[in-house]
């Protein structure tokens, strides 16, 4: 394993908080994509990226390329559901897509790696963390027997806008929070339709209480 790639894997493990097999595999995928992209003459520092899954691979891309969800140079197209990533020049839209070539993973010779990508592992991996760690070690060991032989790549042209449209903002009349949405108006999504949380009866003090709120609280005493 090249020393630089080994360092990138360590950095990504630290970022991801655990040495998951998807990180090891993802780092090899990004390394291959960067190599092939360089052969195309893509300017360094002008990358965009796409990942087709919302699991480990996205972290490998973020650590190794600097394309992140936050700076919008990384797009997560999890609806595709494939363990694949694309790196491309954001100006020319020319790039490289790297994916797992399942045909190159013999399910008899590399059963744990094959099961990892076909989601046919023993359900015990979901409840027994010691067992899961042991199986993950086997997945990584089997991948390291193949490395790039388990992967493939293709040249692509990306059909995504160079810059996303900046949506307008509005202030929700119900909660008073600013929200961004296409044609923003009326109430925010949470107030209008509910959301991923429900408010409970705990009172949390942020330490930044406004004078008006303080005055109201004092008046009520």
pLDDT band at residue 200, thresholds of 50, 70 and 90?
A: confident
Top-confidence residue, 193 or 113: 113
pLDDT of res. 217: 39
State pLDDT tens for residues 3-30.
799 999 999 999 999 999 999 999 999 9
Averaged pLDDT of the chain = 87
pLDDT of 209 strictly over 70: no
d(CA 156, CA 175): 45
**Structural contact between residues 135 and 16, judged by C-beta atoms closer than 8 angstroms:** no
| Share above pLDDT 70 across residues of the chain, in percent, rounded to a whole number | 89
Average pLDDT over residues 92-99: 94
Half-sphere exposure of 207 (CA within 13 A, CB side): 0
Which of 76-90, 138-152, 161-175, 199-213 is predicted least confidently?
A: 199-213
Average pLDDT over residues 41-52: 82
C-alpha span between 56 and 23 (Å, rounded): 5
**Best CA proximity match to 96, nearest among 135, 48, 128, 134:** 48
Please give the pLDDT value at position 182.
Answer: 79
Burial class (CB in 10 A: 0-12, 13-18, 19+), 163: exposed
Kindly state the DSSP code that residue 91 receives in the 8-state scheme: T
How high is the pLDDT of residue 152?
Answer: 97
pLDDT band at 42 (very low <50, low <70, confident <90, very high): low
Q: What is the pTM of this model?
A: 0.82
Contact 113, 105 (CB under 8 A): yes
Average pLDDT in the 188-207 region?
80
d(CA 107, CA 29): 20
Q: Do residues 97 and 154 make contact, with C-beta atoms less than 8 angstroms apart?
A: yes
CATH code 3.40.50.720 for 3-157: no
pLDDT digits (tens, 9 = 90+) for 47-67: 999 999 999 999 999 999 999
Query: Is the model's pLDDT at 106 over the cut of 90?
Result: yes
| Rounded (10°) angle between helices 21-39 and 129-146 | 30
Which band of pLDDT confidence, cut at 50, 70 and 90, is reported for residue 2?
Answer: low
- For the chain, the domains span 3-157, 169-220
- Burial environment of residue 144 by CB neighbours within 10 A (0 to 12, 13 to 18, 19 or more): middle
pLDDT at residue number 219? 42
What integer pLDDT is reported at residue 216 of this predicted model? Answer: 42
Residue 170 has pLDDT above 50, yes or no: yes
């Amino acid at each position: 394993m090249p020393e630089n790639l080994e360092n990138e894997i360590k950095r990504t493990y630290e970022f991801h908080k655990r040495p998951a097999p998807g990180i090891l595999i993802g780092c090899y995928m990004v390394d291959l994509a960067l190599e092939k992209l360089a052969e195309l003459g893509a300017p360094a520092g002008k990358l965009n990226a796409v990942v087709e899954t919302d699991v480990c691979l996205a972290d490998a891309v973020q650590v190794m390329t600097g394309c992140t969800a936050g700076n919008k140079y990384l797009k997560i197209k999890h609806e595709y559901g494939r363990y694949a990533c694309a790196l491309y020049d954001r100006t020319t839209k020319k790039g490289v897509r790297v994916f797992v070539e399942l045909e190159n993973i013999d399910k008899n010779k590399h059963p744990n790696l094959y099961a990892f990508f076909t989601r046919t592992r023993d359900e015990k991996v979901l409840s027994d963390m010691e067992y899961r760690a042991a199986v993950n070690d086997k997945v990584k060991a089997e991948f390291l027997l193949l490395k790039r032989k388990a992967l493939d790549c293709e040249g692509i042209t990306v059909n995504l806008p160079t810059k996303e449209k900046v949506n307008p903002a509005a202030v929700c009349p119900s909660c008073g929070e600013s929200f961004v949405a296409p044609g923003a108006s009326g109430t925010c999504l949470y107030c209008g339709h509910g959301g991923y949380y429900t408010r409970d009866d705990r009172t949390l003090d942020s330490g930044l209480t406004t004078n008006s709120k303080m005055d109201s609280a004092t008046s009520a005493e």
